[in-house]
Amino acid sequence: MNMPPEIQRAMKMQVEAERKKRAMILESEGHRQAEMNKAEGEKQSRILRSEAAMQEEVNKASAAAKAAESEKLSRILESEAEMQTRINMAKAAATSAESEKIQRILASEAEKQAAINRAEGQALAIQMEMEARCKALDNLSASLERSGAGAAASFVTADNYVKAFNNLAKTNNTVIIPSNPADVGSMVAQAMTIYNQVSNNQVVKK
C-alpha cells in the first residue's frame, strides 16, 4: 500500500523537524555543559589561586616567624657568649690575683726563711767563734800554768804590744800613745806590768 505523496512529505518534514529539534537540544545542552564546565573551571582556578595566595601568605608568615625565632636565638646565644666571656675574664682576673697573692706570700716566706737562715748562720758563726776563743783561752791558761810558761807569755805580750803600736803608727787613726813613744823599754815595762797584774789576779782567784 502506497501512501499519498503529501503524507509522505508531511512525514519527512516531521522527521526532519524532529531531527533538527534533537540537534538543537543537543547543541544547547552542549553549550550549557561547556558553559558549566567553563564556570567550574574558572571557579576551581579562583579557588586554586586563592589557596595558592593563602599558602604563600602562610609561607611568608612562617618564614618571618622562623627568621624572628632565629634572630631571637642568635641574640640569646650572643648574650650567653658575652656573659661566658665576662665570667671567663673574671675567673682569669681572680686567678691572676690569687697567683700574684701566692707569689707575694712565697716571696715573703722565702725572704723570711733567708733572714732566719742568715740569723742562724750568724748565731752559729758567733757560737763557733766564742767556742774557738774559749778553747784558745783554755789552751793558753793551761800553757801558762806550766813551769817556764810565764816568761814566754811575758815576752809574747810585750812583743805583741810593740807590734800593735807600730801598726797603729802607720795608719791615720787617732790613738792614745805613751808620753815617750821612742822609749821601747818603757812600753815593754808597761806591758809586763799589765801582764803581771793579770797573772796575780788569776793566782788570787785560785
Cα gap 31→28, rounded to integer Å: 5
**56's grid cell:** 604563600
What is the Cα–Cα distance from 130 to 126, expressed in whole angstroms? Answer: 6
3-state SS string over 129-195?
Answer: HHHHHHHHHHHHHHHHHCCCHHHHHHHHHHHHHHHHHHHHHCCCCCCCCCCCCCCHHHHHHHHHHHH
Nearest Cα neighbor of 195 from 146, 148, 144 is 144
For residue 139, what pLDDT band results from cuts at 50, 70 and 90? confident
Residue 149 has pLDDT above 60, yes or no: no
pLDDT of residue 9: 83
Euclidean distance between CA atoms 198 and 139, whole angstroms: 17
Q: How much is the pLDDT for 40?
A: 92
Q: What are φ and ψ of residue 146, in 5° steps?
A: -75, 155
pLDDT at residue 168 is higher than 70: no
Task: Give the tens place of pLDDT for each residue, 54-112.
Answer: 999 999 999 999 999 999 999 999 999 999 999 999 998 888 888 889 999 999 999 99
Largest separation between any pair of C-alpha atoms in the chain: 212
Q: Does residue 164 contact residue 191 with C-beta atoms inside 8 Å?
A: no
